Amino acid sequence: MNKQRRDNDIIQLAHGGGGRLMHDLIQDVFESAFRQEDFSARHDAALLRDINGNVVMSTDSFVVNPLFFPGGDIGSLAVNGTVNDLAMQAARPLYMSTGFIIEEGCPLAFVRRVARSMRIAADRAGIAIVTGDTKVVERGHGDGIYINTAGIGVIEHEDTLGPERIEPGDAIILSGDIGRHGIAVLATREELALESELESDCAPLAADVLALVEQGIKLHCLRDLTRGGLGTALVELSEDSQKTFVVEEDAIPVSNAVASACEVLGFDPLYVANEGRFAAFLPADQASEAVAFLANRNPELQPVIIGEVQDDGKPIVVARSPLGTERVIDMLSGDQLPRIC
Amino acid sequence: MNKQRRDNDIIQLAHGGGGRLMHDLIQDVFESAFRQEDFSARHDAALLRDINGNVVMSTDSFVVNPLFFPGGDIGSLAVNGTVNDLAMQAARPLYMSTGFIIEEGCPLAFVRRVARSMRIAADRAGIAIVTGDTKVVERGHGDGIYINTAGIGVIEHEDTLGPERIEPGDAIILSGDIGRHGIAVLATREELALESELESDCAPLAADVLALVEQGIKLHCLRDLTRGGLGTALVELSEDSQKTFVVEEDAIPVSNAVASACEVLGFDPLYVANEGRFAAFLPADQASEAVAFLANRNPELQPVIIGEVQDDGKPIVVARSPLGTERVIDMLSGDQLPRIC
């Protein structure tokens, strides 16, 4: 095996062919990285322990370039992305599958590093990686590594969260400053020299959400801010709930590093991707308690109340400036350029 | 919306950007193709109905070229592949997620056709597509469409199947003739003129397996024959069970079309991919009943007993010719060339 490792230090098509090389790859890289008591590498399906409660399922694919960036990599992203989709239903993440699509020629060391990163992220988020799949595509038909994860979680409380639960008078809170992930990835890819060090905000959100529920906060709706950023998330929820949201533009925390990078690049931080932030809609009389509770858990994140829900039947999002002027936030019709992810 | 459909008849990067175009793509293509009562398109996670029993989870990615081939397409493949992984645990398929990675420039019509095909395959297999994700990668970093599916099923009986259950004396049965999928895909891609029409065997296997269980057949282990074919599946199970398998080479059904294509191309049909066939290990005294039962359900498939399990502690697979000569079946160390999938 040692000899083979040296000889085959890049991914070949045959690593996905179902034969000996794939068999060795799975054993050598994935079985050794993932938690053995959880991971069912060779039987194509994993038997899970008992699940009691309402089950939630989610999936996400990850195609980030570069694979490694300050604050994370495609592996931690793939774990946290799916953990966070489950968390947005206030579900406890339980089990995860992972599908790798690897490009021929990708260094085996990258695959190994990403698998280890997934294991670390999964342990941190309290989710078990239980089953996986590997495909290899020809050179020029991939981008190093693409990962899909699908996750299962369980809702252990009575509430169902969703945009239909958003009510007039609800406060809108934001769990932390925005735009770090998108700018960190872009800066790495384009080799931009930022004024100050910037890391992706990539992080699991489930523990914070479950703690809020435990604390008795009556959450109506949660949304993690990924592609499209805070702006797109608000517009989608406004449309789905058919309510008007008014946010105080000045209240939205943006770090100096993100703000100055956005200024140089011509980006609006409202639309820059995040991977560890969420917006929550909840009764106004619990908003301050929720924010204080989150700030106590994560003092560095600056959770804040950013606005409120009105009910005049128009599904629009209005941003109010400190001077009292207003602008309507819409979805981007295309991409911000250059593309971030 | 109609105007937009005409103007945007190919996939653009912005279709994956999280903004308006992606929003419209999801609504226009996926929400309209998938069963509305099942599919949770916009809330990133689906709430499932109650699950009672032992839960099984599985995932698979699909990178087939071409996307469409006789007997199926990447959509039916993606549904059946995951359904079959669940079926191999004798689990009833319940819920499925789907992640699309689409290459910039892919015709929107392809995406629509594949989504519809998934819906048809899911209805046939009795599985609900409950949640999904779409990413777009730059031209030259994909191959039209890649799909990942992950599935959840439930085991409603007491038996756990697996290679550790394989016993000396067990019969090995094969659910039908082998090699159709690999040759059908290759013939389409390479525009080979085969002597006779050949379709992929792509099909869901869960109903057959559940019917066998219902019939009282005590299955010990099941394995669907995908990448690597029957040969690789047998070698893996022989290693995992640490048992010797002896198969009668002459008993393995291969259609004339597959046999002659393999002869011309220099392939061994034992290693050619299938997408609707499985091998089963079960007590020898139930093997004839099981085969007759399967033949009655699928008269065209030619299910057969192909061999038996011996116990001399050596994990090898021996193929016996009609003349009594024997050869050891091993995993391929690389690919059969040209590659099939």
Q: How many domains does chain B have?
A: 2
Least confident of A109-113, A269-273, A311-315, B248-252: A311-315
Domain of A275? 163-329
Judging contacts by C-beta atoms under 8 Å, the chain B residues touching residue A141 are 63, 140-143
- Cβ contact (<8 Å) for A45 and B232? no
pLDDT for the residue numbered A171? 98
pLDDT digits (tens, 9 = 90+) for A90-123: 999 999 999 999 999 999 999 999 999 999 999 9
User: Which residue on chain A is closest to B65 by alpha carbon?
Assistant: A137
Is B318 in CB contact (< 8 Å) with chain A? Answer: no
- Cβ contact (<8 Å) for B56 and A48? yes
Indicate whether B340 belongs to any domain. Answer: no
Among partner residues A58, A132, A236, which is closest to B97 by beta-carbon distance?
Answer: A58
Helix (H, G, I), strand (E, B) or coil at A129: strand
Residues B304 and B323 in one domain: yes
ipTM over 0.95: no
Q: How far is B312 from chain A (nearest CA, A)?
A: 23
Residues 127-146 of A with CB under 8 A from B: 130-133, 135, 137-138, 140-143, 146
For B198, phi and psi rounded to 5 degrees?
-140, 130
User: Which residue on chain A is closest to B93 by alpha carbon?
Assistant: A45
Indicate whether B263 belongs to any domain. Answer: yes
Judging contacts by C-beta atoms under 8 Å, the chain A residues touching residue B336 are 17
Among partner residues A17, A56, A229, which is closest to B228 by beta-carbon distance?
Answer: A17
CB burial string B117-137: b at 16+ within 10 A, e below = bbbebbeebebbbbbbbbbbb
Judging contacts by C-beta atoms under 8 Å, the chain A residues touching residue B150 are 57, 59, 97, 99, 148, 150
Q: How far is A248 from chain B (nearest CA, A)?
A: 22
- Cβ contact (<8 Å) for B58 and A48? no
Mutate to test the interface with A, among B59, B181, B223 (most CBs of A within 10 A): B59
Residues B236 and B302 in one domain: yes
For residue A308, pLDDT beyond 90: yes
Q: The domain spanning residue A20 has which CATH number? A: 3.30.1330.10
pLDDT for the residue numbered B93? 96
Indicate whether B338 belongs to any domain. Answer: no
pLDDT for the residue numbered A17? 83
Among partner residues A18, A63, A232, which is closest to B232 by beta-carbon distance?
Answer: A18
Among partner residues A46, A99, A226, which is closest to B61 by beta-carbon distance?
Answer: A99
Residue type (1 letter), B1 = M
Residues B129 and B201 in one domain: no
Band (pLDDT 50/70/90 cuts) for residue B1 is very low
For A210, phi and psi rounded to 5 degrees?
-65, -35
What does the mean pLDDT of chain A come to? 91
Indicate whether B120 belongs to any domain. Answer: yes
- DSSP character at residue B107: B
Among partner residues B47, B97, B227, which is closest to A160 by beta-carbon distance?
Answer: B47
For residue A2, pLDDT beyond 60: no
- Cβ contact (<8 Å) for A133 and B61? yes
Residues A27 and A143 in one domain: yes
Cβ neighbors of B286 (< 8 A, separation 6 or more) are B171, B217, B218
Helix (H, G, I), strand (E, B) or coil at A51: coil
- Cβ contact (<8 Å) for B63 and A148? no
Residues A180 and A213 in one domain: yes
Among partner residues A47, A60, A160, which is closest to B56 by beta-carbon distance?
Answer: A47
Q: Per the omega criterion (within 30 degrees of 0), is the bond before B163 cis? A: no
Is B73 in CB contact (< 8 Å) with chain A? Answer: no
Torsion-angle region of A71 (φ positive above 0: left; ψ -120 to 50: alpha; else: beta): left
Residues 239-298 of A with CB under 8 A from B: 240, 271, 273
Q: Per the omega criterion (within 30 degrees of 0), is the bond before A66 cis? A: yes
Q: How far is A229 from chain B (nearest CA, A)?
A: 8
Of B155, B190, B216, which one is at a domain's C-terminal end? B155
User: Which residue on chain B is closest to A337 by alpha carbon?
Assistant: B14
pLDDT for the residue numbered B3? 44
Residue from B55, B56, B75 nearest B67 by CA: B75
Mutate to test the interface with A, among B20, B30, B43, B185 (most CBs of A within 10 A): B43
Is A66 in CB contact (< 8 Å) with chain B? Answer: no
Indicate whether A239 belongs to any domain. Answer: yes
Report how far apart the first and last C-alpha atoms of chain A are (Å, whole number): 37
Q: Please give the Cα distance from B94 to A108 (Å, whole number).
A: 35
pLDDT for the residue numbered B104? 95
Indicate whether A336 belongs to any domain. Answer: no
Q: How far is B332 from chain A (nearest CA, A)?
A: 5
User: Cβ(A219)–Cβ(A233) under 8 Å?
Assistant: no
Residues A175 and A241 in one domain: yes
Q: Please give the Cα distance from A58 to A83 (Å, whole number).
A: 9
Q: What is the largest CA-CA distance in chain B?
A: 70
- Chains A, B: CB pairs < 8 Å: 249
> Which residue reads 């009833």 in tokens?
B92
- Cβ contact (<8 Å) for A130 and B163? no
Bridge partners, residue A230, by sequence: none
In angstroms, the Cα distances linking B166 to B234, B240, B304, B308 are: 12, 10, 18, 10
Residues B85 and B185 in one domain: no
pLDDT for the residue numbered A3? 44
Residues A325 and A176 in one domain: yes
Indicate whether B96 belongs to any domain. Answer: yes
Which residue has better confidence, B34 or A8? B34
Judging contacts by C-beta atoms under 8 Å, the chain B residues touching residue A47 are 54-56, 89, 155, 160
- Name the token pair of B156: 């409603």
pLDDT digits (tens, 9 = 90+) for B148-164: 999 999 998 877 899 99
Residues 171-230 of B with CB under 8 A from A: 223-224, 226-229
Judging contacts by C-beta atoms under 8 Å, the chain B residues touching residue A236 are 23, 42
Residues B207 and B103 in one domain: no
pLDDT for the residue numbered B43? 66
Which residue has better confidence, B7 or B127? B127
Band (pLDDT 50/70/90 cuts) for residue A323 is very high
Of B155, B176, B206, which one is at a domain's C-terminal end? B155
CB burial string B178-202: b at 16+ within 10 A, e below = bbbbbbbbbbbbeeeebeeebebbb
Residues A184 and A277 in one domain: yes
In angstroms, the Cα distances linking B207 to A222, A292, B303 are: 39, 54, 15
> Which residue reads 């994909």 in tokens?
B142
Among partner residues B23, B45, B63, which is closest to A58 by beta-carbon distance?
Answer: B45
pLDDT for the residue numbered A226? 92
Judging contacts by C-beta atoms under 8 Å, the chain B residues touching residue A335 are 13-14, 17, 19
Indicate whether B242 belongs to any domain. Answer: yes
Q: Per the omega criterion (within 30 degrees of 0), is the bond before A283 cis? A: no
Residues A147 and A204 in one domain: no
Q: How far is B81 from chain A (nearest CA, A)?
A: 10
For residue B38, pLDDT beyond 90: no
Among partner residues A48, A54, A138, which is closest to B57 by beta-carbon distance?
Answer: A48
> What average pLDDT does this structure show over A147-175?
93
Of A155, A189, A214, which one is at a domain's C-terminal end? A155
- Cβ contact (<8 Å) for A44 and B95? no
For residue B47, pLDDT beyond 90: no
Judging contacts by C-beta atoms under 8 Å, the chain A residues touching residue B140 are 140-141
Question: Which of A234-238's residues contact partners 24+ apart within 8 Å by CB, and which partners?
Answer: A234/A172, A234/A279, A234/A317, A234/A329, A235/A317, A235/A329, A235/A330, A235/A331, A236/A163, A236/A331, A236/B23, A236/B42, A237/A163, A237/A166, A237/A279, A237/A281, A238/A315, A238/A316, A238/A317
Residues A258 and A283 in one domain: yes
Residues 17-36 of A with CB under 8 A from B: 17-23
Q: The domain spanning residue B237 has which CATH number? A: 3.90.650.10
Band (pLDDT 50/70/90 cuts) for residue B336 is low
